Structure 1
Amino acid sequence: MTSRLYPVLQTGAFILLALVLCSLIFAAVGLSATETLGAIVDGAFFRPNALAHVLRWGLPLLITAVGVVISFRAGYFNIGAQGQFYLGAICAAFAAEWMRGSPALVAVPVCMLAGMAGGALWALWPALLRVKAGADEVITTMMGNFIAAQLLVHVTSGPLKDPSGSGQQASSRPVEAAWRISESSGSSPVIIAIAALVVLLGWWLVNRTSFGILSGLAGRNPVMVTWQGAKVQRIAISAFVLSGALAGLAGSVELMGPNGRLASGFLPDHGFTAILIALVAGMSVIAAAFIALFFGALTSAGLWLPVMTGLPSSAIDIIHASIALFITAKAGVFRGLLARFGR
């Protein structure tokens, strides 16, 4: 029982410490920490249509975060979720252009599959470099993010450019209205169903299949897995491809849902936030679902802050950074206290 409660207590402690640190920062710049944190809570949970806003920002993060969990559990640090998210959206946008005039029941699944294929392919080349040449996947996937961002600028100002656009932001033509899986609110039964299916399949994959068990072992001791006759290279490539496919799926969901079109530089922090969610969740798919909704609430609150306190929405980034600080520092002393308390 203690071993099950420990990750929950640890995650709650990280978030609590992060909020305390943010309160000190807000107070240091002359703001009321109580009022600021109160505005964040109000914007996240109590303003009109708060739940819809939480789902709008949290569900795409959840889809990508599950993919990150799969990769990280296998011991491979795929930091390229942002690039894979972009490539998924790009491939889905090309498919949408190609399918114009088709019925929604055909076009929407094709665009979704194209997005998954784009994300998977963008994760495949770092995987091959890792297993064939020993290249550091952190560096290759990080570089892939920058390349993908430039590709996004290229296609939205070139092959997919909307000729009727204002010129203020490069973007593609809107997808057909009949294909949209949500309005701009971003919350719909279809997106909720996709996210729920991703969580269920992700949980089943990591907990009830040989791949999930072997990938978890490979993340801790790849030599032992090799002794068991498993192909570590195959596990690595599969973990990368699955991770990229889910990030690409999130990109296609954004395209076919709330965004409705491809735009240069959209959601630039999506992939990095998903990585943070996976870390805070302790590589648990179920925990990632709750943490993703929490971060969705923070993003929703960020849009409310300028109205309530005059703070820019980027103040939410301070909370993200504070949580990342405690996660990466591992808070060794505090974990020791929790472990002692658990005994």
Structure 2
Amino acid sequence: MIGYLTQIIRAVAFVFIALLLCGVIFEFAGFSAPLMFQSIADGAFLSMRAWENSLRWGLPLFLTALGVVISFRCGFFNIGAQGQFYMGAIAATFVADGLNGQSAVLVVPLTFAAGILGGALWALWPGLLRVKSGTDEVITTLMGNFIAGLALIYVTSGPLKDPSGTGQAASSRPIGEAYRISEGNSLSPTIIVICVLVGVGMWVLVNRTAFGVLSSLAGRNPIMVVWQGARLSRLGLAGFVIGGALAGLAGTIEVLGPIGRLSSGMLPTHGFTAILIALVANLSVLATAVVAIFFGGLAAAGLYLPVLAGLPAAAIDIINAAIALFITARAWPKRLTGLLRRDAT
């Protein structure tokens, strides 16, 4: 317990240092660091509807980050959450658009199933390459992000293109109102319930099942897992599939919920932020929920930065990058040491 609290305090300290560093950088660039912090606090937690906005951006991040947590706990570095998010959203849109006019009782469940399956299948092929031929999953999942991004541009400019669009940004036809799970670009009780149920399910999976125990062992000591009679390949594939399915679910929620359509510029950093959330949370399900809301607050604060501090909204990306720098610098030596030991043997 003490070690767990120490890890949490260390992660919070790194985030705090990253924020201070950004404040210094922006101060030297001619902006006001106190106004930056005030803008983040107001936009994320203190202003009217701030918590609603933080949850609106944080809950989809929570789902995708949970998938990253499962994959990483299994010892596989699946960094393809962005592509899996896109593929889930694409599959969901094809179903919702193709069945437009049918009963919502039929269309909505099929749309969710398609989105989850799309994300899972997009995670499956790099998983198979990893366990069958030893291909580096970091490279395949990273390349999968670019392929999925190009697929998104293709479908929003071709098969799913909205003929009434302005041409400024390619997008699909709007999802029918009967199939939407939230009104406009906002949160809804349906989305909250889905995220809570998935979060509870993943906590039980990680902490109360044999899969959770073995996956944690696989990430730390694969030889011990083999001694227990388990197959690392099955654990790894399960981690990939679950991670992709959760990212696809997040993409489906965005399509049926706040965004209401597929867009070529749809949340371009969503998956990468989810990876950062998982690392900050130290692969804990409960901590992932808290950290996801914090990063959702940062995303919501992006609307306040230009108004109160005169900073561009992209300043949030700089803050995220600074946090990633400190968190990965903390995590890198263990990974590097493991690789060096493996090469030495």
State whether TM-score is above 0.5.
yes
Q: TM-score range by the shorter chain?
A: over 0.9
User: CA–CA distance in 2 between the matches of 1:51 and 1:332?
Assistant: 33
Pairing of 1:149-188 with structure 2 (within 5 A) = 149-188=149-188
Q: Secondary structure at the match of 2:144?
A: helix
For residues 313 and 301 of structure 1, the distance between their equivalents in structure 2, rounded to whole angstroms, comes to: 8
Letter in 2 for 1:210: A
In 2, Cα distance between the equivalents of 1:3 and 1:109?
42
Q: 1:331 to 1:154 in 2, by over 3 A?
A: closer
- Evaluate the alpha carbon distance shift between residue 17 and residue 244 of structure 1 in structure 2; reply closer, same or farther with a 3 A threshold: same
The alpha-carbon deviation at position 232 of structure 1 amounts to 0.7
> CA-to-partner distance for each residue in 1:213-266, whole Å, 9 max, x for gaps?
111101111121112110110101000000000000000000000111111121
Q: 1:272: which partner in 2?
A: 272
Q: How does 1:128-277 map to 2 (within 5 A)?
A: 128-277=128-277
Cα separation, 1, equivalents of 2:299 and 2:96:
28
By how many angstroms is 1:210 displaced? 0.7
User: 2:32 touches 2:309 (CA, 8 Å); kept in 1?
Assistant: no
TM-aligned CA distance change 1:156 to 1:332, over 3 Å = closer
User: Which letter does structure 2 place at the counterpart of 1:124?
Assistant: L
Which region of structure 1 is more displaced relative to structure 2, 34-43 or 110-119?
Answer: 34-43
Whether 2:302 is the aligned partner of 1:302: answer yes
Q: Which residue of 2 aligns with 1:44?
A: 44
Shift of 1:331: 8.1
Aligned length: 333
Contact 1:22 1:322 in 2 (8 A): yes
Cα distance in 1 for residues equivalent to 2:154 and 2:56: 27
Match of 1:83? 83
Query: What CA deviation, in whole Å up to 9, does each residue of 1:94-151 have, x standing for no partner?
Result: 1112221122222111101100000000000000000111000000000000000000
Deviation per CA, 1:61-120, whole angstroms, max 9, x where unpaired? 001000100000001010000000000000000111222112222211110110000000
Does 1:313 pair with 2:313? yes
The verdict on how the C-alpha distance between 1:230 and 1:332 changes in structure 2, with shifts beyond 3 A counting, is: closer
Paired amino acid for 2:133? A
After superposition, the C-alpha distances for 1:176-215 in whole angstroms (9 at most, x for unaligned) are 1011101223310000011111110110111111111111
CA distance in 2, matches of 1:207, 1:304: 39
For 2:52 and 2:332, the matched residues in 1 are separated by: 37
- Cα distance in structure 1, aligned partners of 2:276 and 2:8: 16
Q: Go from structure 1 to structure 2 and tell me whether the alpha carbon gap of 1:332 and 1:69 turns closer, same or farther (over 3 Å shift).
A: closer
Structure 2 CA distance for aligned equivalents of residues 254 and 66 of structure 1 = 16
Does the CA-based 8 Å contact 1:52-1:185 persist in structure 2? no
Do the aligned partners of 2:181 and 2:256 also contact (CA within 8 Å) in 1?
Answer: yes
Q: Counterparts of 2:216 and 2:83 in 1: how far apart (Å)?
A: 25
Name the SS of the counterpart of 2:257 in structure 1.
helix
> Residue 53 of structure 1 contacts residue 185 of structure 1 at CA under 8 Å; is this kept in 2?
no
State whether residues 31 and 311 of structure 2, in contact with CA within 8 Å, keep that contact through their aligned partners in structure 1.
Answer: no
Q: Distance in 2 between matches of 1:100 and 1:27?
A: 52
- Quote the offset at 1:332 in angstroms: 10
Q: Which residue of 1 aligns with 2:337?
A: none
Q: Distance in 2 between matches of 1:264 and 1:234?
A: 35
Q: Note the C-alpha offset of 1:274.
A: 0.2
Instruction: Report the CA distance shift for 1:56/1:99 in structure 2 as closer, same or farther (over 3 A).
Output: same
Secondary structure of 1:42's aligned partner = helix
| Higher mean displacement: 214-223 or 177-186 | 177-186
Given the superposition, is the C-alpha separation of residues 179 and 102 from structure 1 closer, same or farther in structure 2, using an over 3 Å criterion?
same
Partner of 1:67: 67
Aligned partners of 1:114, 1:331: CA distance in 2, in Å?
35
Instruction: Please tell me the residue identity of whatever aligns with 1:132.
Output: K
- Regions of 4+ moved over 4 Å: none
TM-score by length of 1: 0.95
Match of 2:7 in 1: 7
State the 1:4 CA deviation.
3.1
Instruction: Indicate conservation of the 8 Å contact 2:171/2:263, yes or no.
Output: yes
2:100 alignment counterpart: 100
How far, CA to CA, are the matches of 2:68 and 2:2 in structure 1? 26
Q: CA deviation at 1:32?
A: 2.0
Maintained 8 Å contact 2:67/2:246: yes
Report the secondary structure of 2:168's partner residue. Answer: coil
| Structure 1: distance between partners of 2:332 and 2:10 | 11
- 1:330 is paired with a residue whose SS is helix
Equivalent position SS for 1:53:
helix
Q: In terms of mean alpha carbon deviation, does 308-317 or 141-150 score higher?
A: 308-317
Aligned partners of 1:149 and 1:265 also within 8 Å:
no
